[in-house]
Amino acid sequence: MRLILITLLAGLSCAAQTDWPMYGHDPGGMHYSPLQRITAANVSKLRRSWTYHTGEPGSPFESTPIVVGGRMYLSTQKGRIVALQPETGKEIWSYDPKLARAREHRGVSYWPGAANQPPRIFLGTGDGRLIALDTATGRPVPSFGDNGTVNLRGGVADDFLKANYALTSPPAIYRDLVIVGPNIQEGPSLGPSGDPRAFDARTGKRLWIAARPTSCTS
C-alpha cells in the first residue's frame, strides 16, 4: 500500500478535534479517542478529506500517525519521517534516515521540549539508531548524541556484527526520558541483549538500563 487515506467527517472543523500525541493516544496505550463528534448515527457520512502518497511501493504500511502541535507525523514503508498539515495533507518536511534495508516501522514519538529546548520527534531505525529531529525543520538535533543520532548497537552488539538489532516501534516518552526496547534475534542463536534502555531527551546520554531479574533456585 503506497498511500495514506485520512478520513474526516464532512463539514466538521479540524479545530474542534483533539490531538493524538503518541502511539496508542495516551501513556496507557488505550487506543481510544475521547472525541464524540463521530457517532453511530453519522459515521456513514464520512468522506475522504485528502490522500497523501508516500511513493514507496512494495512494503505494507504499518505506521500509526501522531497529531500534535498542529502537525501530523508519520513514518513511511522505507522509514522516512514525514510532517504533514493535518487539514490538507500538504507535506511540510521529510527526513530520510537512509536505511540500507527497509524494515517494518510503526511510527514516531513526540517530546514537548523543555526550557530552551524546542519540541523533538524521536524515531528508532531498523539498523539500531535513535534519532532526534527538530519538529520545525525535520533536521537532526546537533546537541543530541552525535549530531542527532545515538548508535544503540555500540557496547551491546559489538560481538554480533551481523545480528539483528532494530527499533520497529516508537520509543516511549516519560518526562525527559526516551525509552527504547529493540527487536532482536529469535530462536537459539546468540545475539545482543534486548534489555530496555532510557536516554536523556536533551543530550542522548544513557541514563539507565533495565536490570535483569535474578534467577531463583529451589
Strand locations in the chain (E): 3-9, 46-53, 66-68, 71-75, 81-84, 91-95, 109-111, 120-124, 129-134, 149-151, 165-166, 172-174, 177-180, 183-184, 197-200, 206-209
Domain extent listing, the chain: 3-209
Amino acid symbol at 136: A
- Which cell goes with 86? 493535518
> Are 97 and 123 spatial neighbours (Cβ–Cβ below 8 Å)?
yes
What span, in angstroms and rounded, lies between the C-alpha atoms of 125 and 182? 10
What is the three-class DSSP state of 103?
Answer: coil
Q: What is the mean pLDDT of residues 15-42?
A: 83
The confidence score (pLDDT) of residue 101 equals: 82
Q: How many CB atoms lie within 10 A of CB 67?
A: 19
pLDDT bracket for residue 29 (50, 70, 90): confident
What span, in angstroms and rounded, lies between the C-alpha atoms of 23 and 64? 7
> Are 183 and 146 spatial neighbours (Cβ–Cβ below 8 Å)?
no
> Are 152 and 137 spatial neighbours (Cβ–Cβ below 8 Å)?
no
Q: Is the pLDDT of residue 145 over 50?
A: yes
Return the percentage of the chain with pLDDT > 90, whole number.
61
Q: For the domain made up of 3-209, give the CATH fold.
A: Methanol Dehydrogenase; Chain A (2.140.10)
Q: What is the mean pLDDT of residues 24-44?
A: 89
Query: Percent helix, strand, coil in the chain (nearest 5)?
Result: 5, 35, 65
Q: Is the pLDDT of residue 98 over 90?
A: yes
Global pTM exceeds 0.85: yes
The confidence score (pLDDT) of residue 162 equals: 84
What values do phi and psi take at 148, rounded to 5? Answer: 105, -5
Which has more confidence, 108 or 5?
A: 108
Which of 143, 140, 147, 91 is CA-nearest to residue 117?
143
The confidence score (pLDDT) of residue 6 equals: 45
- Which cell goes with 157? 552488539
Instruction: Give tens-digit pLDDT for 152-208.
Output: 999 988 888 888 889 999 999 999 999 999 988 876 678 888 899 999 999 999 999
Q: Is the pLDDT of residue 95 over 90?
A: yes
> Are 95 and 149 spatial neighbours (Cβ–Cβ below 8 Å)?
no
> Are 123 and 133 spatial neighbours (Cβ–Cβ below 8 Å)?
yes
- Which cell goes with 62? 504499518
pLDDT bracket for residue 9 (50, 70, 90): very low
CA angle, corner 87, sides to 105 and 28, nearest 5?
45
- Which cell goes with 78? 522505507
Q: Is the pLDDT of residue 105 over 70?
A: yes
Amino acid symbol at 111: W
> Are 74 and 81 spatial neighbours (Cβ–Cβ below 8 Å)?
yes
